Amino acid sequence: MENSRVVVVDQLMDNYAYLVIDERSGVAGVVDVAEADRVLHAAEREGVRIVAILSTHCHFDHVGGNDELLAALPPGSVQVFGHRADAERIPGITRPLEDGEDFALGAMHGRAIFIPAHTRGHLAYYFAEAGAVFTGDTLFAGGCGRIFEGDAAQMMSSLGRLAGLPDPTLVYCGHEYTRRNLEFAAMLEPSNPALAQRRREVDMLLEQGGRTVPTTVALEKATNPFLRTQSPELRASVREQIPDVGDDAVSVLAATRLLKDNF
Alpha-helix residue ranges (DSSP H) falling in the chain: 36-46, 60-63, 66-72, 152-163, 178-188, 193-207, 217-223, 232-241, 249-261
The CA distance from 171 to 39, in Å, is 20
Nearest distance in Å: CB 202, Zn ion = 22
Q: How many CB atoms lie within 10 A of CB 193?
A: 10
Residues recognised as catalytic:
57, 59, 61-62, 118, 137, 175
Binding residues for Zn ion (CB under 5 A): 59, 137
The CA distance from 159 to 162, in Å, is 5
Nearest distance in Å: CB 137, Zn ion = 4
The CA distance from 122 to 133, in Å, is 13
Nearest distance in Å: CB 69, Zn ion = 18
Contact 140, 174 (CB under 8 A): yes
Nearer to Zn ion, 118 or 228 (CB): 118
End-to-end CA gap in the chain: 38
Nearer to Zn ion, 4 or 15 (CB): 15
Nearer to Zn ion, 119 or 251 (CB): 119
Nearer to Zn ion, 137 or 176 (CB): 137
| Parallel/antiparallel/unpaired status of strands 170-173 and 132-136 | parallel
Nearest distance in Å: CB 97, Zn ion = 18
